[in-house]
Amino acid sequence: MKFSLESVYTWYRNLLRNPKYRWWVILGTLVYIVSPIDIAPDFIPIVGEIDDVLLLTLLVTEVSGLVIEGWKARKGYVETNTSTTPEDSSATGNTVDVDAVSVK
């Protein structure tokens, strides 16, 4: 199994985005930050705080992203990619709505 920081970040991010485990991950992260027992102990002058600061930054970034997404969804904000270039306006503007039907 290949270990990388990107895989740990992806795992943490996916776990935070799962509503079933979100509050447990937030609580566990806050306990880890406050706890003196961690990967790099806090009594080591600079290294001890680096892992706490990185984890706190990651937590704040992801939670604020979730809050913003939830706020946009509640307000009904839909991102539309409208183009005002003349090349795109020459494309056909016909839209066909199709209902999905299961095929057996």
The pLDDT tens digits along the chain (104 residues) read 577 888 888 888 888 888 888 889 999 988 988 887 888 877 778 888 888 888 899 899 888 988 888 888 888 875 555 445 555 444 556 787 788 788 87
Query: Residue 100's pLDDT is what?
Result: 79
Within-domain flag for 19: yes
Q: Which amino acid is at 40?
A: A
Within-domain flag for 64: yes
Domain count, the chain: 1
Within-domain flag for 25: yes
H helices then E strands: how many in the chain? 4, 0
Within-domain flag for 12: yes
Within-domain flag for 102: no
Q: Helix %, strand %, coil % for the chain, to 5?
A: 55, 0, 45
Structural domain for 32, as ranges: 5-79
Within-domain flag for 90: no
How far is Cα 32 from Cα 26, in angstroms, rounded to an integer? 10
Within-domain flag for 104: no
CB 33 within 8 A of CB 40: no
Q: What is the pLDDT of residues 36-49, one digit of tens each?
A: 788 887 777 888 88
pTM (2 d.p.): 0.59
Residue 102: both structure tokens together: 């299961």
